[in-house]
Structure 1
């Protein structure tokens, strides 16, 4: 038998197996309870804070992946500016499109309530992630990490960086961002509970860059000119990168820590301007949000405390009570990035 004939038989066999597998994969029944697996009409939307925010794009990567795994269509919508008004416009559009579920990183915890309530009354499942909406405006919230651990951890990091001697300033996002406000609250509580330890490292100023790189840069300059801060905490990826660039341009000896993307902050960690940062995996957070919406949509959970579900490669997840009302699903603990490991992570996200 010549080589061409052997190849012809092999290819025919492979095609035959593929066709059989393909036909089997198109079945609309799960073979157990007869429920349809055709999710072609299910669409989940992720609404980010601001269109140019690279962190939000990473969140959507995970969200899109989970939707594909569940056979659903995904949509990414974000306003050009980090405003509540623009998010309301987007949600109204999604209600008209009759999407199956909405996951939103909120620019305001309370102002979105009327439009999200309208969405839920229309049968659309709603979860928040990153920055929550109030408990009555959602089924549940995707909590990236324990807010207490984030807030206390950041102020402890700033203290360590200046060896307990130097003022601290915070560069936040918007004044209405519930997650940011909760983290700052825990920073303040850490200082209040340990007055002797932080006697020479007071928190002297909080500025708001509104998750805009230009505004964040200007607020960083305000901190440098109006305070004697020795370290800036930026619990926002947009603000952190903007602050790092300002500190570098001005050859400042003010240190920086906070929540940043390893890919963006690697040069500043390597040169010592930012000794270390913290973050969770934003891709995983989006992935968890997608699985949570899908479980809500298909009736596996209802968003109440005690519900459990499988979140793909993240494994089993449980819904617990949230500190600020309603319920939440916890992703995990924040991760520390410094000179010892930044090379491993900077090309990942």
Structure 2
């Protein structure tokens, strides 16, 4: 088994890992009962490289990964770039390859440019996988998906058009232009709008990176360029509050409606003020937990079942063998009434 072959490498890399990942590496506590239940994963190291470190979304995923590490008895490493930059992310991936981690998960900023690095990691004997965002044209062994593209895209449009009365013009403010998951949701939004809302029109799609202030500025520009605009969709956890802030700053709450993929706490003030009509997301900590659990299965050579009993909170996670995808479940619509129940 790969775990036993790499014990020496893992020990040798520990000091380097502590230096490189100081302040951004999360390791599990020593829980011998959890290790026993997991079948001896004490020496297993699972690394996760998010698109961007420091934003609530990926920090919540990190919390979920930490919880899985504590319960299942493995070491969890977490580090991402401080800007949504594909080159900076690639450097961190290379670092984990050099350390000889057992399993490497990435939420790629640019799936195509990451594919050769995932091949390099696999050639080095590392199990490679994606989570949150896929790199389908790579050697990744599994994609841990938060929800289907159809579920997310259609729920975003339905929630916005319900607020808009079923008609009107709206625009989309996305983040990374090459992010596969965001682009798949946008494709669904365009198709669903054309098919279900003949009196609605998407007038523009812009890209703000992973920067909330840029999203606010772009949303303001869109409202100025289209005076008859009555809706905005923020397609990531920085653009969702960004578009709501733009409507707030313009004094147009109740005239221009917004929805987006925002974390509950970041969206709660806008949901309460009416600047946002709904935040569509999922349990992000559960996504992190599922990522850690999936890493254990890869390292131990366990095949995924069609339906997987992951934990008490995740008793029926579906797996599609054709696409090698684990599906967390359907999206959740957060409102002023339920967003306060979550602490991220």
Q: Does 1:184 align with 2:198?
A: no
Q: Is the 8 A contact 1:135 1:327 kept in 2?
A: no
User: TM-score normalized by structure 1?
Assistant: 0.83
Structure 2 distance, partners of 1:27, 1:204, is 53
Q: Is the 8 A contact 1:262 1:337 kept in 2?
A: yes
Distance 1:332 1:223, change over 3 A: same
Distance 1:271 1:65, change over 3 A: same
List gaps (5 residues or longer) in structure 2.
1-30
Following superposition, the deviation at residue 315 of structure 1 comes to 2.4
Q: Deviations over 1:65-124 (max 9, x none)?
A: 112222111111110110111111111000000001112111112110000111112121
Structure 2 counterpart SS, 1:50: coil
1:334 alignment partner in structure 2: 331
Q: Is the 8 A contact 1:291 1:312 kept in 2?
A: no
Superposition pairs of residues 256-295 of structure 1, within 5 angstroms: 256-295=258-297
Following superposition, the deviation at residue 161 of structure 1 comes to 1.0
Structure 1 distance, partners of 2:161, 2:307, is 39
Following superposition, the deviation at residue 310 of structure 1 comes to 3.8
Q: 1:255 aligns with which of 241, 254, 257?
A: 257
Distance 1:259 1:29, change over 3 A: closer
Q: Does 1:123 align with 2:118?
A: no
2:167 alignment partner in structure 1: 165
Distance 1:101 1:27, change over 3 A: closer
1:193 alignment partner in structure 2: 195
List gaps (5 residues or longer) in structure 1.
1-23, 31-35
1:208 alignment partner in structure 2: 207
Q: Is the 8 A contact 1:300 1:309 kept in 2?
A: no
Distance 1:91 1:249, change over 3 A: same
Structure 2 distance, partners of 1:113, 1:226, is 38
Higher Cα Rg: structure 1 or 2? 1
Q: Is the 8 A contact 1:49 1:107 kept in 2?
A: yes
Q: 2:109 aligns with which of 107, 110, 119?
A: 107
Q: Is the 8 A contact 1:125 1:139 kept in 2?
A: yes
Following superposition, the deviation at residue 189 of structure 1 comes to 0.9
- Number of matched residues? 310
Moved >4 Å (runs of 4+): 24-30, 306-309
Q: Is the 8 A contact 1:213 1:242 kept in 2?
A: yes
When structure 1 is superposed on structure 2, of 165-174 and 130-139 the one drifting more is: 130-139
Structure 2 distance, partners of 1:72, 1:297, is 11
When structure 1 is superposed on structure 2, of 244-253 and 97-106 the one drifting more is: 244-253
Structure 2 counterpart SS, 1:111: helix
Following superposition, the deviation at residue 134 of structure 1 comes to 1.7
Please report the RMSD computed on the Cα atoms of aligned residues, expressed in angstroms.
2.3
1:156 alignment partner in structure 2: 158
Q: Deviations over 1:277-318 (max 9, x none)?
A: 2110000001001100100101112x6xx5664423312434
2:238 alignment partner in structure 1: 238
